[in-house]
Amino acid sequence: MNRFKVILKFLLDQKSTIGYSLMALFTLGGERVFNRVSFQCPCNHQQNFAYGLTFLLGPAVVLLVLGLFLSTRFWKLFTGCCLNPKKLLPKKNNCDSLPELMSVFWGACVVPIMWLCIALMSGTFYECAASGLKKHLVVDHFCKNKTIKCLEELAQVPCERSKLPSEERAELRLMFKAQSQILGWSIIIIAVVAALLGICLRYSCSEVSYLQLTFWKHYMEKEKEHLNTFTVKYASKLAKRNIKSFFENKPPGLFPLQTHEAWKKIS
Amino acid sequence: MNRFKVILKFLLDQKSTIGYSLMALFTLGGERVFNRVSFQCPCNHQQNFAYGLTFLLGPAVVLLVLGLFLSTRFWKLFTGCCLNPKKLLPKKNNCDSLPELMSVFWGACVVPIMWLCIALMSGTFYECAASGLKKHLVVDHFCKNKTIKCLEELAQVPCERSKLPSEERAELRLMFKAQSQILGWSIIIIAVVAALLGICLRYSCSEVSYLQLTFWKHYMEKEKEHLNTFTVKYASKLAKRNIKSFFENKPPGLFPLQTHEAWKKIS
Amino acid sequence: MNRFKVILKFLLDQKSTIGYSLMALFTLGGERVFNRVSFQCPCNHQQNFAYGLTFLLGPAVVLLVLGLFLSTRFWKLFTGCCLNPKKLLPKKNNCDSLPELMSVFWGACVVPIMWLCIALMSGTFYECAASGLKKHLVVDHFCKNKTIKCLEELAQVPCERSKLPSEERAELRLMFKAQSQILGWSIIIIAVVAALLGICLRYSCSEVSYLQLTFWKHYMEKEKEHLNTFTVKYASKLAKRNIKSFFENKPPGLFPLQTHEAWKKIS
C-alpha cells in the first residue's frame, strides 16, 4: 500500500506535466485522424488556399474557445461584470483584471499553438494552402528554374493527378514541406521565448518572494479543494432541510446563509 | 522490505546521475524520432541550409527554455527584481547574483548541448545544412578533385535522386558525416573541459572547506524537503479555517501569519 | 538471511575490484557501440587522420574529466585554494599537495587508459587514422615493396570501395591492425609498470609501517561513512528546527554549530 501511495503522490506532483503530455498526444492523434479521414486537397486554384487555411486555423480557434470554456479563472472574471463594469475596465484604481485576463488568454493559447506546430510539422495542410496562392512573387519563387508548366500546374501538386514530371513534383513537395516545418519551428521558438520573457516579467514585478508565492499557490489549491467539499456538504444540508419542511408543511428552521456581499468578497 | 529500502536509498543517492542518463536517453530517442518521422531534406540550394540549421538549433533552443522554466533557482532570482533592482545589478556591494545567474544558465545548457552532440553524431541534419551552402570557399573545398558537376549537384547529395555517380556521392556523404562527428566531439570536449574549469574556479574561490560545503548541500536539500511539507500543511490548515469561518458566518480565529519581511529574509 | 549477508560482505570487500571490472566492461561495450553505430571512416586523405584521432582521444578526454569530477579528493584540494594559495604551492613548508594532486590525476587516468587500450586492440580507429597520414616517411614504410598505386589508394583501405587488389588490401589491413595492437599492449605495459613504481616510491617514503597504513585506510573509510550519516542527520535536524521556528513565528532554539575553523581543521 505504501508503494502505491508513493507512486500516486509522485503522479499528483507531476499533474501538469502529465496533463500537457496527454494534450500533446491527443492533438497529435487528432491531426493524424484529420489528415487521414477528413482532409483531401481540392487541387484547384480557387479553393486550395482557403481549404488549407481552414484546416490549419479552424481547429486552432475551436481549441482556443474550448480552453477558455474550461478555465475557471475566465468565468470568475466575467461573472457579473455586466452589472458591475468597474471590474473589467483597467483605468480604475483596481487594475488587476487586465493582466489577469491576458494570463488567462495565454493559458488558453497553449493547446492551439501545439496544434499549429503539429499541423505545420506534418506539412500537408500548408502544402495545400501554399499551392493555391495567386500567381505573384511567391509562386515565381516556387517555380524558379523550372518549366513554364510549373506555374499552371502548381495547384495540382498535392494530388496524384498532376501532369508535371514526377521528379519536379517531388521537388516541389519537398520544398513545401520544408517551408512548413521551418514555419512550425519558428512558431515554437517564438512561443517558448515569449512565454519565458512574459513569465519573467510577471515574476520580476511581484512584490513577494518566490517562496511566499509557492506558499500561496499551495494555499489556493487547498482552498479550492476544501471550498468544493464544504459547498457540496452545505448545499446538500440546505436542500434536505427545505424539502423536508415542504413535505412536513412546517416552516423551515433557521439556517446560516451568506449574503451576496460575502460571496462577492471571497471571489 | 529492508532490501527494497536499500535499493531505494541507493537510487535516491544516484538521483542526478539517473536523471542525466534518462535525459540523455530521451534526447537520443527524440533525435531518432525526428530523424525518422519528421526530417526530410528538401534538397535545393535555397532551403537546405535553413532547414538543416532549424532542425539542429530549434530543439536546442526549446530545451534551453524548458531548462530555465524548470529551474527553481532561476525564478528565485527573478522574483521581485523589478521593484528591487539592486538584486540583479552586480555593481552593488552584494554581487552574489551574477555568478548565480551564470550557474543557473549553464545548468540549463546541459541538455541542449546533449542534443547538439547527439544530432551532430548522427550527422543527417549537418549533411543537409552543409550541402546547401552557397558556392564559396567551403563548397570548393568539398568538391576539390571532383568533376564540375559536383558543384551543381551538391544540394542533391542527401537525397536519393542525385545525378552524381554513386561512388562520388557516397564519398561526399562520408565526408559530411565525418565533419559532423568531428564537430560533435569538439563540442563535447570543449563543454566538459569548460565545465571542469568553471567549477574548479568556483570551488577554489569558496571560503569554506569541502566538507562544510557537503554539509550545506545536505542541509539545503533537507530544508527544501521540510519546507515543502510544512508549506502544504500550513496552507491546508489556513484554507480550511478560512472557508469554515465563511460558511458558519463567524469571524476566523487567530492564525500566526508571517509578514512579507520574514518571507523575504528566508529566501 | 545469513548467506545473503556473507555474500554482501564479500561484495563490499571486493568493491574496488568489482568497480574496475564494471568500468572495463562498460568501456568495452561503449567501444563496440561506437564502432558499430557511429564510426564510419570517411576514406579521404584530408579527414582520415583527424577523424580517427578524434574517436581515439575524444572519449579518453571525456572519461578523464568525468573521473576528476567524481573524485572527492580533487574537490577537497581545490576548495578555497584561491583565497588560501598556500594550499596548492609546493614550495612552502607544507608540500603535501603536489603528490596528492598527482595521485588524484593518475587515479582519474585509469579509465581513459582502459579506453585507449580497448580501442587500439580492436584497431579500427587506428586503421582510419594511420591511413590518412600525409605521404612521408611513414607512408613509404607502409607501401614498401608494393605497387605505386598503394600510395594513392592508401586512404581508401579501410573502406570496401578501394581499387587495390584485394590481396594487397587485406595485407595492409592486417598490418594496420598489428601495429594498433602492439601500440595497445605497449601502453598497457608502460601504464602498469609506471603505476607499480609510483606506488612503490610512495610507500617507501612513508614513515609508518605497512600494517599501520592498512589500519589508517580502514579508519579513513569508516570515518567517511560515519561522517556521511552524521552529516545527513544533523542537516535534517537543523533544517526542521529553522523551518518550524519560521512558521510558528518563534525565535529558533539554540543549536550547537561548528565554527569555520573547526571545519577547516578536520578537512
List chain B pLDDT tens, one digit each, 267 residues: 566 677 777 767 677 778 888 888 888 888 888 888 888 887 777 788 888 888 889 989 988 988 888 777 777 776 666 555 554 444 444 445 667 777 788 888 888 998 898 888 888 888 888 887 766 666 666 666 666 666 667 777 777 776 777 777 777 788 888 888 889 999 999 998 988 888 877 777 766 666 666 777 777 777 777 777 777 777 777 777 777 776 666 655 555 555 555 555 555
Contact C175, C146 (CB under 8 A): no
Flag residues of chain C having pLDDT under 50: 87-95
Q: What is the pLDDT of residues C123-156, one digit of tens each?
A: 888 888 887 776 666 666 666 666 666 666 777 7
| Cα angle value B132/B133/B136 (rounded, 5°) | 145
pLDDT top residue among A117 and B225: A117
Contact C92, C86 (CB under 8 A): yes
Q: What is the pLDDT of residue B93?
A: 40
Q: What is the pLDDT of residue A190?
A: 92
CB contact B161 to A (< 8 Å) = yes
CB–CB of C79 and B210 under 8 A?
Answer: yes
Q: A 163-192 residues with CB below 8 A of B?
A: 167, 170-171, 174-175, 177-179, 181-182, 185-186, 188-189, 192
Q: What is the pLDDT of residues A161-203, one digit of tens each?
A: 767 777 777 777 888 888 888 899 999 999 988 888 888 777 7
Contact B84, B32 (CB under 8 A): no
d(CA B107, CA B77): 14
Q: What is the pLDDT of residue C189?
A: 93
CB–CB of A175 and B248 under 8 A?
Answer: no
b/e B78-107 (16+ beta carbons within 10 angstroms → b):
bbbbbeeeebbeeeeeeeebeeebeebeee
d(CA B214, CA C232): 10
Q: What is the pLDDT of residue C91?
A: 45
Is the pLDDT score of A91 beyond 70? Answer: no
Task: Quote the ipTM score.
Answer: 0.71
CB–CB of B263 and A203 under 8 A?
Answer: no
Q: What is the three-class DSSP state of A205?
A: coil
CB–CB of B55 and A185 under 8 A?
Answer: yes
CB–CB of B260 and A207 under 8 A?
Answer: yes
Which chains contact A through at least 3 pairs of Cβ atoms less than 8 Å apart?
B
What average pLDDT does the segment A220-225 reach?
76
CB–CB of A218 and B235 under 8 A?
Answer: yes
Residue of chain C whose Cα is closest to the Cα of B233: C247
What average pLDDT does the segment A111-138 reach?
81
Q: A 117-136 residues with CB below 8 A of B?
A: 121
Alpha helices in chain B (DSSP H): 2-13, 15-33, 48-69, 72-78, 97-122, 124-130, 137-142, 149-153, 166-204, 210-247, 260-266
CB-based burial of residue A195 (10 Å sphere; 0-12 exposed, 13-18 middle, 19+ buried)?
Answer: middle
CB contact C226 to B (< 8 Å) = no
Q: How far is C42 from chain B (nearest CA, A)?
A: 5
CB-based burial of residue A101 (10 Å sphere; 0-12 exposed, 13-18 middle, 19+ buried)?
Answer: middle
Q: What is the pLDDT of residue B95?
A: 43
What average pLDDT does the segment A22-31 reach?
86
CB contact C62 to B (< 8 Å) = yes
d(CA B11, CA B159): 46
Q: Which residues in chain C touch residue B226, judged by CB atoms under 8 angstroms apart? A: 236, 239-240, 243
Angle between the N-to-C axes of helices B48-69 and A166-204, in degrees from 0 to 180, rounded to the nearest 10: 30
Q: Which residues in chain B touch residue C5, judged by CB atoms under 8 angstroms apart? A: none
Is the pLDDT score of A93 beyond 50? Answer: no
CB atoms within 10 A of CB A222: 20
Among B252, B243, B249, which residue's Cα sits nearest to residue A257? B249
CB contact C81 to B (< 8 Å) = yes
Q: What is the pLDDT of residue A92?
A: 45
**What are the distances in angstroms from CA A200 to CA A96, B61, B82, B91, B234?**
18, 17, 10, 22, 28
- Of the partner residues C51, C79, C231, the one whose CB lies closest to the CB of residue B218: C231
Q: Please, which pLDDT band fits residue A6 given cuts at 50, 70 and 90?
A: confident
- Per the rule left: phi > 0, alpha: psi between -120 and 50, beta: everything else, C135 is beta
CB–CB of A178 and B40 under 8 A?
Answer: yes
Q: How far is A211 from chain B (nearest CA, A)?
A: 6
Best A218, A228, A267 residue to mutate vs chain B (most B CBs within 10 Å)? A218
Which residue reads 516545418 in cell numbers? A181
Best B118, B124, B210 residue to mutate vs chain C (most C CBs within 10 Å)? B210
What average pLDDT does the segment A130-135 reach?
74
Q: What is the pLDDT of residue B227?
A: 74
Phi, psi of C259, rounded to the nearest 5 degrees: -80, 165
Q: Which residues in chain B touch residue A223, judged by CB atoms under 8 angstroms apart? A: 239, 242-243
Q: Please, which pLDDT band fits residue A90 given cuts at 50, 70 and 90?
A: very low
CB atoms within 10 A of CB A51: 20
Q: What is the pLDDT of residue C190?
A: 93
Q: What is the pLDDT of residue B149?
A: 66
Q: What is the pLDDT of residues B103-127, one digit of tens each?
A: 788 888 888 998 898 888 888 888 8
